[in-house]
Chains A and B, each alone.
Chain A
Amino acid sequence: MIQAFAFYLFATVVILSGALTVLSRNPVHSVLWLILAFFNAAGLMVLVGAEFIAMLLVIVYVGAVAVLFLFVVMMLDIDFAELRSGFVRYGFFGLLIALVLAGELIIAGGAWSQGALDLSRRAAPASGDLQNIEAMGALIYSKYLYIFEAAGLVLLVAMIGAIVLTHRERKDVRPQNISDQVKRRPQDAVRNVNQPVGQGVEL
């Protein structure tokens, strides 16, 4: 009973907050609804016993990706009139995408009801005493090792690419060099001069 209740609670909140992500006028509110959707999706993951995935979802998506997303959206100068003005122009493409997604959903639902998903061929659930993380680690680092490493390589390349694209060398700033500052001694900067009266100091 409690599982069913929890499932319907999380599922309803996911769908509602997903809808509100699209429907809310304020982009910041949209991102916050999206975060709520992520969070409740993590709740659904816990319900199916994938607690590791659930935690990763919260840490990666809610804790890092959505923070940066919110960060960008918060900076936007929101002009509600301008937001609505593009409706006709983008309406067509929006409708097209919606139709494609709806079509895909219908195809998926139809295929499922025809028994296309052979439930017996799903990946075997982890056995009772094997923990979620151990089971996943054993699979990732043995059977899918090369795919996993390739994914890591792709991410590395993407990261380097992002840095190269956004990095700019600025000549007009003097960055602080901390080791230089620590190495600096009084005699490098200060000079004691016993200056005779009436003569200028040579600097």
Chain B
Amino acid sequence: MTFTQWFQSWGGEAFGWFLATTVLILMIALPLMLAVAMIIYADRKIWAAMALRRGPNVVGPLGLLQSFADGLKVMLQETIIPSAANRGLFLLAPIITFTVALIVWAVIPFGAGMVLADINVGLLYLLAASSLGVYGVIISGWASNSKYPFYSALRAAAQMVSYEVSIGFVLISVVLWADSFNLSTIVLAQQAHVLGFFNGFGFNPLLFPMAVVFLISALAETARAPFDLTEAESELVAGYQTEYSSMSFALFWLGEYANVILMCALNAILFWGGWLPPVDWAPLYAVPGIIWFFSKILIFFFIFSWIKATVPRFRYDQLMRLGWKIFLPISLIWVFLVSGYLMLTRYGG
């Protein structure tokens, strides 16, 4: 990577690497926070438009600065810690959620070679880091020492563990086809994947059902509507965030939306070609890969918002039924089908 080499040329081998990595981390994390602010605005606007409302339109032109006004507001508020709460863990929970939401971005390739940590086990790293995210919710629910957060934490733990199972199987079928756990390699394996023309595993009829399962599981994994039972306001006030205020609340909020963007990015990377254009046609490669990648993220975010605005919330038993009785068998069968197909075609029986 030339960027790191430039730093190493004047800072020395180790120190240059350290500086370059720090700068790269900031180059991912700071725009990500800006993106989260804008995507919250977009979410509210889309949701409002589908409900024939105007949405935020007062702060700044077209209400564009609404998220920043909200951010400023929560920063100026007082952090309230309930007297019965477990103080240390109560404050640790939002930090865990936020940190985990940031560290997963280390392995996301934004373009050809544009990745902070190009590790062999990138996909497993993602799975590992996202399974850590559940601790923020559980700890906050327990440490709040209040019944609604506790219910919410129990729901969240069961929900995330359940859907991680089917996500795991979906990832296995992708990994089998791409022959790698490295996200950049997975994207490159999708080039001209179908009929030598379409870039993306999602265009493959054998993998398309997995793309659908992954999209829905991603909604459940990030506890977005229609699976937002962890913060079902009609039952649980605000779920695990009930006792939180000011920045500790904002960290949950930021982490949650950063996770939503991550899931959109994963949908794009695993099934729809990542930074590659949708079809393998030379003029389309003139557009920088990062623009393709971001536009795919935005399309998926629109789908997420669309679902949030239109689909009613699931009941808890329905959620569990979908995860264990429908997605788990389907994804398991699909792993079997995909590996069988590859066995016959790629590895010659």
Chain B residue at smallest Cβ distance from A176: B317
Contact call B142/A28, Cβ cutoff below 8 A: yes
* B125: interface (CB < 8 Å): yes
Instruction: Tell me the smallest distance from the CB of B306 to a CB of chain A, in Å.
Output: 24
Q: Which residues of A contact B127 (CB under 8 A)?
A: 55, 59, 63
* B124: interface (CB < 8 Å): yes
Instruction: Tell me the smallest distance from the CB of A4 to a CB of chain B, in Å.
Output: 13
Q: Which residues of A contact B317 (CB under 8 A)?
A: 176
Measured CA separation A67–B164 after assembly (Å): 13
Contact call A52/B131, Cβ cutoff below 8 A: no
Instruction: Tell me the smallest distance from the CB of B343 to a CB of chain A, in Å.
Output: 13
Measured CA separation A1–B14 after assembly (Å): 10
* B115: interface (CB < 8 Å): no
Known contacts A32-B89, A74-B142: does B119 contact A58 (CB below 8 Å)? no
> A-B pairs with the 4 shortest C-beta distances?
A63-B131, A55-B124, A58-B128, A59-B128
Contact call B14/A64, Cβ cutoff below 8 A: no
Q: Which residues of A contact B158 (CB under 8 A)?
A: 71
Within 8 A of B (CB), among A119-136: 131-133
Contact call A63/B132, Cβ cutoff below 8 A: yes
| Chain A interface, number of residues (Cβ within 8 angstroms) | 26
Chain B residue at smallest Cβ distance from A70: B138
Instruction: Tell me the smallest distance from the CB of B14 to a CB of chain A, in Å.
Output: 7
Within 8 A of A (CB), among B132-181: 132, 134-135, 138-139, 142, 150, 153-154, 157-158, 161, 164, 181
Known contacts A28-B142, A70-B138, A74-B142: does B131 contact A64 (CB below 8 Å)? yes
A residues near B (Cβ < 8 Å) are 1-2, 28-29, 32, 35, 42, 51-52, 55-56, 58-59, 62-64, 67-68, 70-71, 74, 131-133, 176, 178
* B121: interface (CB < 8 Å): yes
| Chain B interface, number of residues (Cβ within 8 angstroms) | 28
Instruction: Tell me the smallest distance from the CB of B145 to a CB of chain A, in Å.
Output: 11
Chain A residue at smallest Cβ distance from B154: A71
B residues near A (Cβ < 8 Å) are 14, 89, 119-121, 124-125, 127-129, 131-132, 134-135, 138-139, 142, 150, 153-154, 157-158, 161, 164, 181, 317-318, 321
Contact call A132/B121, Cβ cutoff below 8 A: yes
Chain A residue at smallest Cβ distance from B92: A32
Measured CA separation A91–B135 after assembly (Å): 33
Question: 15 A-B pairs, CB-CB below 8 angstroms?
Answer: A42-B128, A51-B120, A55-B125, A55-B127, A59-B131, A64-B131, A67-B131, A67-B135, A70-B138, A70-B157, A74-B138, A74-B153, A132-B120, A133-B121, A133-B181
Given A35-B135, A55-B124, A63-B127, 8 more pairs with CB closer than 8 A: A28-B142, A63-B131, A64-B161, A67-B134, A67-B161, A71-B158, A74-B138, A133-B121
Contact of A133 among B14, B120, B134, B161 (CB under 8 A): B120
Known contacts A51-B119, A132-B121: does B128 contact A67 (CB below 8 Å)? no
Q: Which residues of A contact B121 (CB under 8 A)?
A: 51-52, 55, 132-133
Measured CA separation A110–B72 after assembly (Å): 62
Instruction: Tell me the smallest distance from the CB of A52 to a CB of chain B, in Å.
Output: 6
Instruction: Tell me the smallest distance from the CB of A69 to a CB of chain B, in Å.
Output: 11
Q: Which residues of A contact B157 (CB under 8 A)?
A: 67, 70-71
